[in-house]
Structure 1
Amino acid sequence: MLILASLLFYSYGEPIYVLLMLVSCLANWALALALDTRKEDAASAGRKAILTLALVLNLGVLGFFKYAGMFVGTIDSLLGLDLKIGAVALPIGISFYTFQALSYVIDVYRGKISAARDPFVVMLYISFFPQLIAGPIVRYRHIEEQIAQRSFTLNGVACGMRRFVVGLSKKVIVADSLAVVVDGIYGNQSGEVDFYAAWLAAICYALQIYFDFSGYSDMAIGMAAMFGFRFQENFTYPYISRTMQEFWRRWHISLSTWFLEYLYIPLGGNRKGEARTVINKFTVFLLCGLWHGAAWTFVVWGLIHGIFLMLEEIVPLKKLPHWAGHLYTMFVVVASFVVFRADSFTQALQMYANMFGFNTESTVGAGSLAFSYLDPWTLTIFSIALIAMLPVTQVLSPQAKLWKKMGVTNPSSTYMPATVDTRVWSLGLTLVLLAANLLILAAGGYHPFIYFRF
């Protein structure tokens, strides 16, 4: 039933590419099974050939659909050629389910898990609809037992529904409200973007992408909980970080740990000298940036993060006072998201010029474009976002005492439904939030999830 629901869900937006996903599921099931039958000879050339084939097939499909146009366009620009290719529609979620499939095959190769004999098990793992199109990236070994046997309880459904409503509210109420400011300023063609407007757009986008993506993760985790699955968290309050290293331990955790385990460590990690460590980290963040989208702006965003991560290896930034480390980290994060959001390098440079005072033609004053967006609703949402990005729920939650008693220092590290809060005001707030979301959606005030295009 879950497989059927997943296929129907995916076909609603991508009817043709359901076949591509099914082929990916069956191919990776067969390749992993072939690896498992040869596990007695772990280092055999045959197993390495099968793994190589799996890497080529998965990355080849991802590369064709996602990056063919980008690389052909780059070659045309550099060499003055005209090697245009027809428009290739990007299958939704292909970056996410490809990485899940790769982790499954690689873990079988490494002997960490056994290959599933039943193809429907692999199909459910790869196509499970709550996290199919925007993550989090789930490892097979984390849910293998849950696929085979899991508990389905009213309490789990209640907790999952509440988590889903919280995620939906993050997206529809907070992220989409901030998107109006961001899209308006980035789309301004009249040259009215000044210092205030540029910084307002940069800060609002940092908040927008966090609430947009973490909201989807909440919805995926909550919906999975309704079916008895327990997914690990994908965000643990990244905007309280004091270093960029800490930021990446809290931001898009499923992706950062994927690159750590399946790329950084196999490349040698930090075990082969400082020069090799630098190369490895730059490689990881170059590919991390490229994973986010088929544009060189994403690559530059990834390299900016790689540069500051390397800087932290040299400069003892961890010794900074907490407030100074936090300001430094947020400055880098907010500023780097400008090139992430920009449609082109030209637009990014224009925004940076406005932000750092290099644009002498921009005007700053009471007539700034920024003030036209600071209406009461936006200011309210902005204030809510600043508070909600902090771990206030860990203090206010009725589960806080239970977590403390259990010795759990970071309850956000793993989704723990515990017992649903049955207080009237809490249930009432959930219903109010759900009603508000439905009204906004019915009015057509909806923006697609940012990570849908990745």
Structure 2
Amino acid sequence: MVFSSMVFLCIFLPVVFLLHLILPGIRAKNWMLLLASLVFYAYGEPVYVLLMIASAFVNYLSALLIEKKPSGKKAVMTINVILNLGVLVLFKYTGFLAESFNAIFGTAVPVPAIRLPIGISFFTFQAMSYVIDVYRGVTEPQKNFGKVLLYISFFPQLIAGPIVKYHDIAQEIENRTQTVDGVMNGIRRFIAGLSKKVLISNTVGLVADTLFAADISGLNAAAAWIGAISYMLQIYFDFSGYSDMAIGLGEMFGFHFKENFNYPYISGSIREFWRRWHMSLSGWFQEYLYIPLGGNRKGKVRTVINKFIVFLCTGIWHGANVTFLFWGLYHGCFLMLEEFVPAIREKGGRVKSVFQHIYALLVVLIGFVFFRADTMSQGVAWVKTMFTGFNANPAAMSLALEQLTPLYFVTLAVGIVACCPVKNLVKKSGAYEAVTAIGSLVLLALSMLSLASGTYNPFIYFRF
């Protein structure tokens, strides 16, 4: 089940929210949320819900063993990390590894067709962070397995993040309060995220999918740029939209998740971009990989190596494809460039800021071309077409112009504005409450009409 579906909006969410309101006591509310979360996941993954439960149980036992046997806690933590990563490799990367082995050695090893459990990267990283934090003494091990399972399976952040750390919501699992203001803020945030996903991401995503599915030899520069920009907007509004919905849903039930996106497309450097993009994942890798590797404490060469390892792992986390590996290393290279040439990232006057912004957007745009491409050759050909495909092929120009509908132009304009923190201007005007209340009702109606029509509504997180 996904948030942007009529089943979720019209049946699942109203029933669960009403039950949470009327059930007495935090214990009953937690058990209801746990059951609802398992039903939510089982709706689309009836078999793999058992895998998630088993993963949670193994991590629950690991945390208890760390507390019970402090002398062997390092061994327990190491085994736990290996088991968690082993599950990821088995379900997410086995086919890729088999294909790569065949390609390199010319063998014919059978490639297993293993269906990828939705959200496995998210719930596995959450489980790992819980055990590592117990090992570090950051949090106490939870004796109640139901509470650990609720933390890992809680439906708002289960399949698309943000990645939540146990100590951030441990107190709210034990005791939380639903307030009118909190519920209203949560509803508004959820509707904003739903609108991002349904009204903006889906519209530009249809254009991106149409063009990326076409033969690259039949495209020109105009089509290549339209496809690249459309995907750049699609992935941001899809991903940040789901994060907004998750944060809003959490607040509706009395939970407070940390922000996951902070207007990344206003960045003036790639370093700044990663402080604003998918912040829960960036923070996870910094805390549980970069710092343990030594961070920047062991000299410049070691710092460079550590950052490349982190961004290689970032690429691997996103999917089993060479394009994801390249995307991670690509961003790592530009971070290193900014590390050794500080003038690129250092703030300057207005003119320099404009050029820095163009630089950052162009780097991110080209990176997302490879992220979206099915193969490296398609990505290379696409970027080449963007900068050299200035041909007058009537068919190529016709395909490009077919995408430029009035709806696309309106969505593009709205998307560009929504990439900037314009809501801060509305807040300052004193009209924030009235504008958001009316706007939320209109956006909800438009989103539900779009969903009810059964139009294009992909779920891009199956790759993650």
* TM, length-normalised to structure 2: 0.89
Pair 364,387 (structure 1): closer, same or farther in 2 beyond 3 Å:
farther
Figure out how many residues of one structure are paired with residues of the other and give that number: 428
Q: Counterpart in 2 of 1:214?
A: 240
Partner AA of 1:437 in structure 2: S
Q: CA deviation at 1:422?
A: 5.0
Q: Secondary structure at the match of 1:15?
A: coil
Q: CA deviation at 1:447?
A: 2.4
1:290 & 1:23 partners in 2: Cα distance? Answer: 24
Q: CA deviation at 1:251?
A: 0.1
Gaps of 5+ in 2: 1-31
Query: What whole-Å deviation, never above 9, does each CA across 1:18-45 have from its counterpart, x for those lacking one?
Result: 1000001111011001112234xxxx3x
2:418 to 380, 388, 394: 388
Q: Is the 8 A contact 1:196 1:364 kept in 2?
A: no
Q: Is the 8 A contact 1:192 1:368 kept in 2?
A: no
Greater mean deviation of Cα atoms: 169-178 or 272-281: 272-281
Q: Is the 8 A contact 2:134 2:140 kept in 1?
A: yes
Q: Is the 8 A contact 2:216 2:378 kept in 1?
A: no
Q: Counterpart in 2 of 1:408?
A: none
Q: Secondary structure at the match of 2:420?
A: coil
Is 1:322 paired with 2:341? no
Which residues of 2 match residues 9-88 of structure 1 at below 5 A? 9-39=40-70, 44=71, 46-88=72-114
1:432 to 430, 442, 461: 442
Query: What whole-Å deviation, never above 9, does each CA across 1:357-397 have from its counterpart, x for those lacking one?
Result: 1x577749993532221111100000000000000011212
* TM, length-normalised to structure 1: 0.91
Q: CA deviation at 1:346?
A: 1.8
Q: Counterpart in 2 of 1:444?
A: 454
Q: Counterpart in 1 of 2:183?
A: 157
Partner AA of 1:54 in structure 2: N
Q: CA deviation at 1:318?
A: 2.1
Pairwise CA RMSD of aligned residues? 1.8
Q: CA deviation at 1:55?
A: 0.6
1:66 & 1:440 partners in 2: Cα distance? Answer: 32
Q: Is the 8 A contact 2:45 2:117 kept in 1?
A: yes
Greater mean deviation of Cα atoms: 140-149 or 188-197: 188-197
Pair 144,290 (structure 1): closer, same or farther in 2 beyond 3 Å:
same
Is 1:346 paired with 2:377? yes
Q: Counterpart in 1 of 2:125?
A: 99
Query: What whole-Å deviation, never above 9, does each CA across 1:256-282 have from its counterpart, x for those lacking one?
Result: 000000000101111111111111111
Partner AA of 1:390 in structure 2: C
Which residues of 2 match residues 87-166 of structure 1 at below 5 A? 87-166=113-192
Q: CA deviation at 1:239?
A: 0.5
Q: CA deviation at 1:439?
A: 1.0
Q: Is the 8 A contact 1:51 1:105 kept in 2?
A: yes
Gaps of 5+ in 1: 402-419
Q: Is the 8 A contact 2:142 2:148 kept in 1?
A: yes
Q: Counterpart in 1 of 2:206?
A: 180
Partner AA of 1:311 in structure 2: L
Greater mean deviation of Cα atoms: 430-439 or 105-114: 430-439
Pair 421,328 (structure 1): closer, same or farther in 2 beyond 3 Å:
closer
Q: Is the 8 A contact 1:244 1:309 kept in 2?
A: yes
1:368 & 1:57 partners in 2: Cα distance? Answer: 52
**Higher share in helix:** 2
Q: Is the 8 A contact 2:268 2:359 kept in 1?
A: yes
Q: Secondary structure at the match of 2:260?
A: coil
2:300 & 2:186 partners in 1: Cα distance? Answer: 45
Percentage identity across paired residues of the two chains: 52
Query: What whole-Å deviation, never above 9, does each CA across 1:291-312 have from its counterpart, x for those lacking one?
Result: 0011010000000000000000
2:296 & 2:370 partners in 1: Cα distance? Answer: 29
Is 1:311 paired with 2:333? no
Q: CA deviation at 1:123?
A: 0.5
